[in-house]
Structure 1
Amino acid sequence: MSPIQDFALVYEALNNSGTFSEGDPIIGTLTFKLKKDTKVKNVFLKAKGEAHVHWTEGSGDNERSYSAHTRFFKVKEYLVAEKDEGNKLHQGVHHFNFSLTIPKGDFPSSFKGHHGHIVYMLEAKISRSWRMPTTLQKQINFVSKSFPHTDQAMCPQSSSVNKEMGGFSKGEVQMSATVNRKACSPGDTLSIFAQICNSSSKKIRPKFSLEQRTVYRAGTSTTSTVQTLFKMVGDTIGQTPEETASCKLTIPIDAIYTLHNCDILSVEYYIKVYLDIKFAIDPEVVFPLVVTPSSSFVSCEDVQPFPAGAFGVPSYSDFPAPVFPVELNPLPTGSGYPAPDATQLENITSGNNYQWPQNAPPYGASSHAAFVPPSVQHSAPAIPPQYQQGEQPPSYTFPCA
């Protein structure tokens, strides 16, 4: 029977959310009790981050498996250094204070999906000669600081599409859609507007959806899963020169952050605005959306609509972008957001036999000062232009078959 009892690993983060990011220290205490004097080879602690994907395709003799693995980093610190003659630890309770620093780098956030995961682990191990090592593992919640395209997160993005009816139907349908944000956080609400011109003989229904697409990669092979997180159906629209449909979309509070910086796994979000037309291919516009942990984005001064025609959608630059109703204008007019206050680290207190040294070597200790993000100045966003009273918007011709 092992003489090691009550093997426990306690750690804490420098922020109130309990998450870790690149360059953060992991500070805590390793505790165990020995029933008798025991000789050990070493006692060490390590932190590591890695991603793994695996899936199968086909069945029977045609079944094939695909897998891939990536390690982002591994940091190791000996609490009891290894000696040829071993180390004798006395009977009783032993406490080891530790501090490991996560390296700086472009690492993805923690993730768990159907065909793979991204895991960051803290592991403690006691090794003894001719014995199985005593091991304890705990996952840490890692949140990346790297996100794409958040420099103009508050800017709207727009796109247009039209469809000419064929067969037994006449006329044409045109739609121009706008989303008021390019990036957001879980719990945020987006405003979506669609201007629709239905000069056909068909009745149509506008639909809005939020989709999460996860892609797994192993070499040149890929597989993916798509999950619809939100869907809304608008009212039926008959023949009309112009109709505006709108939607308020709230990002689920448990939504996974966008993952773009892992070679074998990625998570992307798309907002789809499309028209449901019976017995016809539904015209649609698709907007990419970045989901990040923070909502303190930088607004843009010059609104640059999302280029039409992206993701295979036809471009029609002469179709006007929709005008936001004044009472639903999604763009804030404030000057920005205050920089967050630094969190204070509470000292770890315990009766221990081994105090952590004040001037430890690299990876053995790190500054206990909390990470304070730099203050970001936010400029007031531009407001989409409105038509003046009495002014007529430009005319547009919608051809009919």
Structure 2
Amino acid sequence: MTVKHFSLEYNRADGKDTYSPGDAVSGKVTVVTSKEIKVQCLLVKAKGKSKVTWCEQDGEIPVVRSNKRNYFYFEHIILQDKNKGDGSEIIGPGRNVYPFSFDIPNNDMPSTYKGKWGEITYSLRARLTQSIWLVHKTKTKFPFQTKSEFPFASRSEMILIGLKEQQYATRISFGSGKVTINVTSEKLGLEQGEAMQVFLEVLNESARPVTPKFFLCEKQTFVAPTGRTVHTNDILFGMGDPVPPASRQVLTKVLSIPPGLPPTFYNCCMMKLEYQIKITLDAPLMKDPEVKLPLVILHGSHKPHQRKKERSTRFKKLTG
């Protein structure tokens, strides 16, 4: 092969780890050849798109559901022959470097994301065409982050206040006796890597011990013109101490959001990502009662968060 090396690289966006709407994406294409070659075209493409695909059964027939959308598409021609196909452009022997630059549209577009049956990607592709039979291709993806501070709702004052308000939920279950769960979380919105206290009160009036478990519930929704599907995943945060029969337990649990967890988003027409906090009671011979609280995960500020101390568990024997 005359072309020994063909690569595509992009530069960091003004020292940032990700690109955003309105940023310029710059980089270089490197071509290393063993001798002089003639080329028809050398170009770079930039694309932002979302795509969903899944398969489901319609009776006995498997059906593929899919959808896609392009957010932008650009072509930057570095070299092109004067008459299409005549190979009049020349690349000299050795290492040849060609810079390029694109401006990302300043529109509301969702951040890079990869889910169970769909993904949002922003990519660069380079193509070197020597002839109809000899084409070299390379590609790379670059990270993109939306500029929308809250890509799930309006910027109204009610939403901003609501993210900081406490959340409450109660559940009463009957099996071998009544079990009541009261749960309070500090607020609705948390940044990536941030910690939050969850307050739990369990009134166990049953004849058996129950053990609280804390989960982070992830819900991915994918939409196509002919249907929709949902993928859920529960991440175990931790467990509390067993609550003996005929007793009351008050517990404070500190839950830390993993720094790499993708933020909540709704600003994509074919997929969305939501979260909840779920608390269950592992109870023998009883359908495990559970409580769910809404949770919105925001882009992290990249500042270290202090981990809050957990309060001690307190037990109180119920009197008849």
Scaled to the shorter chain, the TM-score interval is 0.7 to 0.9
Distance 2:228 2:13 in 1: 38
The 8 Å contact of residues 45 and 122 in structure 1, kept in 2 or not, is answered as yes
Distance 2:134 2:238 in 1: 57
In structure 2, the residue matched to 1:70 is 69
In structure 2, the residue matched to 1:94 is 96
Structure 2: which amino acid aligns with 1:139? K
In structure 2, the residue matched to 1:30 is 29
In structure 2, the residue matched to 1:271 is 277
Distance change >3 Å, CA 194–CA 295, structure 1 → 2:
farther
In structure 1, the residue matched to 2:213 is 207
Aligned positions of 1:119-130 closer than 5 A = 119-130=121-132
Paired residues, number: 297
Deviation of residue 275 (structure 1)? Answer: 3.6
Tell me the SS of whatever aligns to 2:152. coil
Deviation of residue 271 (structure 1)? Answer: 0.6
In structure 1, the residue matched to 2:167 is 158
Aligned partner (choices 224, 240, 257) of residue 263 of structure 2: 257
Distance change >3 Å, CA 112–CA 236, structure 1 → 2:
same
- Structure 2 unaligned blocks of 5 or more: 154-158, 312-319
Distance 1:101 1:118 in 2: 19
Taking structure 2 as the reference length, the TM-score comes to 0.79
Tell me the SS of whatever aligns to 1:145. coil
Distance 2:186 2:232 in 1: 24
Distance 1:136 1:236 in 2: 57
Distance 1:11 1:36 in 2: 26
The answer to which of 197-206 and 39-48 deviates more is: 197-206
2:20 is the counterpart of 1:21: yes
2:114 is the counterpart of 1:112: yes
Taking structure 1 as the reference length, the TM-score comes to 0.64
Tell me the SS of whatever aligns to 1:136. strand
Distance change >3 Å, CA 192–CA 15, structure 1 → 2:
farther
Distance 2:172 2:310 in 1: 29
The answer to which of 150-159 and 9-18 deviates more is: 150-159
Distance 2:263 2:186 in 1: 19
1:42-70, Cα deviation, whole Å (9 max, x unpaired): 32211101222222223995222222222
- When you count strand as a share of all residues, which structure comes out higher? 2
Aligned partner (choices 212, 224, 227) of residue 221 of structure 1: 227
Distance 1:178 1:113 in 2: 30
Tell me the SS of whatever aligns to 1:151. helix
In structure 2, the residue matched to 1:188 is 194
The 8 Å contact of residues 254 and 310 in structure 2, kept in 1 or not, is answered as no
2:250 is the counterpart of 1:244: yes
Structure 2: which amino acid aligns with 1:89? I
The 8 Å contact of residues 153 and 184 in structure 1, kept in 2 or not, is answered as no
Distance 1:140 1:52 in 2: 16
2:236 is the counterpart of 1:230: yes
In structure 1, the residue matched to 2:139 is 137
1:194-213, Cα deviation, whole Å (9 max, x unpaired): 23344555644333210112
Q: Percent identity?
A: 27
1:229-257, Cα deviation, whole Å (9 max, x unpaired): 223222233334x5422211122233223
RMSD, aligned α-carbons: 3.2
- Structure 1 unaligned blocks of 5 or more: 298-325, 330-399
In structure 1, the residue matched to 2:314 is none
Deviation of residue 227 (structure 1)? Answer: 1.6
Distance 1:90 1:128 in 2: 10
